[in-house]
Structure 1
Amino acid sequence: MKIIHIFEENLYSIRYSGECKDELERLFDLWEDNEYLFEFFEANQADLVFYKLSIEQAVGETRKEAGKLRDALFEALYENPIQIETLFRNLDNRVVHTFLLSEQKTRRRWLRLYAIRIHENMYLITGGAIKLTQKMGERPHTKQELSKLEKCKTFLEQNNVFDDDSFKEMLNE
């Protein structure tokens, strides 16, 4: 597991062992890949019924929404990095307060980016998914994202990360 610096002191992304891309790059590449999207929506067609869209429409919507999510993320980072805080929310909608190393998400329709909040305006992307169901535990691909969040959080805790300074210290070792 390697932490990749994406933007100043605000955004980082995990690159898992054996992967050639960090999670942010991997996800945006997947969400632009027609073949992957067609296969995904075919495999999850029963969940797509709720949206009343054909597979072709879902592919088009996903590509469009991925572009908007990327634009919102990088617009916030480049124009005013403090705005990144407004993009992320607690993973559990019932939790109202944020805390150190809290599990976060940002979303655009059914697209999700998952992250660990290191500090105010500082996030570590751990993964993401196309989430068509209400709960993450309902499908294997979203369960996997929960597992990745926990794995990254455990990694940070084992490396004594508890705030932005300890995170930066870990990166410089």
Structure 2
Amino acid sequence: MRFERIIEGKDHLWAVREMNKPKNELALLFDTWNDMEYLMKFFMDNFNDLKTYFHIERISDAIADTLDDAEQLERLILDIPFTDNLDELFKPLGTTDMTVRELTREKARNWNRSGHASWLRVYAIRLEENVFVVTGGAIKLTQTMQERPHTQEQLDKLNSCRQYLISNGVFDADSFIDLNMEAEL
């Protein structure tokens, strides 16, 4: 597993980079959320969830909401001064993650979105205060991640990354940087 620094000169935001993919997980995520063909197919395939959980009847409305929300979320994650306060954006994934001290599984979304709640999620491992490793993300239209294959896949990636970090002795940002330096040699 390899990791890529998201903002040059800053060590607080990283993303998993699979060598068989053209970009890191965060960049791929925002590319996907801005791909009209992908969004059309996704919302057609998941139309019942869209109607049931968000009471949205038109796919065109869902696409427009996603494009707008993705732009806002990307700004919250990447733009200064927002990116210096990632602890305000990322929250524990679930109640079990609230009690874990090291390498917690976290999610980010646009918490202050007007209209309906945001269905966009960015998933990450929190190394320490304001230091995160993004593992992926999803459009989440159901109550739990286990209900749909695309969100279960993201949960699996999150758990796999956490286990990889633990098994390689990572417990904070310094040990993560050391692991990255060893991998680059």
Shift of 1:17: 3.9
Map of 2:121 onto structure 1: 112
Map of 1:3 onto structure 2: 3
> Any conservation in 2 of the 1:90–1:98 contact (CA below 8 Å)?
no
Moved over 4 A (4+): none
TM, length-normalised to structure 1 = 0.93
Post-superposition Cα deviations, 1:72-130, rounded to whole Å, max 9, x if no partner, equal 1123xx22654111100000056544521000000130000000001111000001000
Mind listing any 5+ residue stretches in structure 1 that lack a counterpart?
none
Shift of 1:48: 0.6
% identical equivalent positions: 40
Q: Distance in 2 between matches of 1:27 and 1:68?
A: 14
Map of 1:68 onto structure 2: 72
> Any conservation in 1 of the 2:76–2:83 contact (CA below 8 Å)?
no
Is 1:170 paired with 2:179? yes
Q: How do 1:77-156 and structure 2 match up within 5 A?
A: 78-79=80-81, 81-93=83-95, 95-97=97-99, 99-108=101-110, 109-156=118-165
Mind listing any 5+ residue stretches in structure 2 that lack a counterpart?
111-117
Map of 2:36 onto structure 1: 34
Provide the aligned C-alpha RMSD in A: 1.4
For residue 166 of structure 2, the aligned residue among 151, 157, 161 is 157
TM, length-normalised to structure 2 = 0.88
